[in-house]
């Protein structure tokens, strides 16, 4: 079978498509034929040596997110059956409850092997069924970006109708957050640096869009849009470079969900967090329980993920390069072999 692996040097030039033996499932394991996989910014950071992961598996299979069909099961499997369409959970040991430090080595795509192969083998505990109305390309976007947005807004933030949510940019997490918020009856304010992307956000149902290229102090615009009150939730994907403005955008007692680190470095005075009684949540994806609950909501609301572009299995480097360009609106997907 064909499989994409990353050289220990970690650069896009070292991504290699190799021929390997088809893996066989062992005790309570399942073999999944991958139909599609999707990229996250984390994948780009790992591939270019910027993720800071000291114990990255030597030559790991890349990408954490995908969907496929169970084609074989090992002894003792009872949770799923051959022929079912499933997606892997990001952290294979995080089934429910609080995240534990010893779960970290089971994260797919680094430290452990990922999904970009013709067939992968996982524990039966590490997969979930996906909503039937989604295509393979759409379902492949769920494991990281969607679960992260769900964890932030619904699980940690207790999102409810009438809340206001600020999203930053038009990557996967931000768009899923916007879609979940709109489906819940919340108001969404979004930032982007592109008028073309602003128009696409409006077509998605986001009525209030702030162009940060034209309005660098976008936090002031957010306060104006909310009558000075601020928003109930900020989905913070920028990191240090945007965190201070995110804190300045949130309402008294509101929530800032810290997810990414895409925008430089800065020092933040923690007193502003205390003054505004802000709840700051560090979010990294979520558990299997969260994934399954989210899938039920997606199926009920018929929500459809935003897929920007689909690449062929042989065009993986081009997919990474497109992600690095930050031209995308939504998710970037690679078809199965």
The whole-number pLDDT of residue 238 equals: 85
Identify whether residues 261 and 245 lie together within a single domain: yes
The range of the structural domain enclosing residue 212 comes to 146-282
Model pLDDT for residues 155-207, shown as the tens digit of each residue: 999 999 999 999 999 999 999 999 999 999 999 999 999 999 999 999 999 99
Question: Which residues have a Cβ under 8 Å from the Cβ of 199 and sit 6 or more positions away?
Answer: none
Identify whether residues 234 and 183 lie together within a single domain: yes
The whole-number pLDDT of residue 267 equals: 63
Residue 9 vs residue 116, higher pLDDT: 116
- pTM value is 0.94
Residue 54 vs residue 276, higher pLDDT: 276
φ, ψ dihedrals at 235, nearest 5° = -90, 100
The whole-number pLDDT of residue 9 equals: 66
d(CA 324, CA 337): 23
CATH of the domain at 130: 3.90.180.10
Identify whether residues 158 and 82 lie together within a single domain: no
What does pLDDT average to over the chain? 94
Q: What is the domain count for the chain?
A: 2
The answer as to whether 156 is a domain residue is: yes
Model pLDDT for residues 108-167, shown as the tens digit of each residue: 998 999 999 999 999 999 999 999 999 999 999 999 999 999 999 999 999 999 999 999
Identify whether residues 24 and 111 lie together within a single domain: yes
Identify whether residues 111 and 220 lie together within a single domain: no
How is the chain split among helix, strand and coil, in percent rounded to 5?
35, 25, 40
Does the pLDDT of residue 55 top 90, yes or no? no
């Amino acid at each position: 079978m064909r499989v994409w692996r990353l050289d220990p040097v970690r650069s896009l030039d070292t991504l290699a498509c190799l021929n390997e033996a088809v893996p066989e499932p062992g005790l309570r394991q399942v073999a999944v034929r991958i139909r599609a996989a999707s990229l996250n910014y984390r994948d780009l950071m790992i591939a270019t040596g910027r993720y800071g992961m000291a114990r990255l598996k030597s030559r790991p299979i890349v990408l954490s997110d995908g969907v496929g069909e169970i084609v074989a099961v090992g002894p003792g499997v009872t949770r799923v059956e051959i022929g079912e369409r499933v997606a892997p959970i990001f952290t294979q040991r995080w089934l429910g409850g609080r995240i534990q430090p010893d779960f970290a080595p089971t994260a797919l795509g680094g430290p452990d092997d990922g999904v970009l192969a013709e067939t992968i083998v996982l524990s039966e505990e590490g997969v979930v069924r996906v909503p039937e109305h989604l295509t393979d390309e759409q379902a492949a976007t769920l494991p990281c970006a969607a679960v992260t947005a769900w964890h932030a807004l619904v699980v940690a933030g207790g999102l409810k109708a009438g809340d206001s949510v600020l999203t930053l940019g038009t990557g996967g997490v931000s768009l899923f957050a916007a879609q979940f918020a709109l489906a819940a009856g919340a108001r969404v304010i979004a930032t982007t640096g592109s008028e073309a992307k602003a128009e696409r956000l409006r077509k998605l149902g986001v009525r209030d869009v702030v162009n940060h290229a034209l309005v660098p102090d976008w936090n002031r615009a957010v306060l104006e849009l909310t009558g000075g009150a601020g928003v109930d939730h900020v989905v913070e994907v920028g990191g240090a470079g945007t965190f201070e403005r995110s804190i300045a955008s949130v309402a008294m007692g509101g929530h800032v969900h810290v997810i990414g680190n895409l925008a430089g470095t800065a020092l933040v005075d923690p007193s502003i967090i205390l003054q505004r009684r802000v709840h700051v949540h560090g979010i990294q994806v979520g558990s299997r329980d969260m994934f399954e609950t989210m899938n039920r909501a997606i199926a009920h609301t018929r929500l459809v993920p935003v897929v920007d572009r689909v690449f062929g299995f042989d065009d993986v480097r081009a997919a990474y390069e497109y992600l690095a360009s930050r031209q995308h609106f939504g998710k970037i997907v690679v078809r199965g072999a």
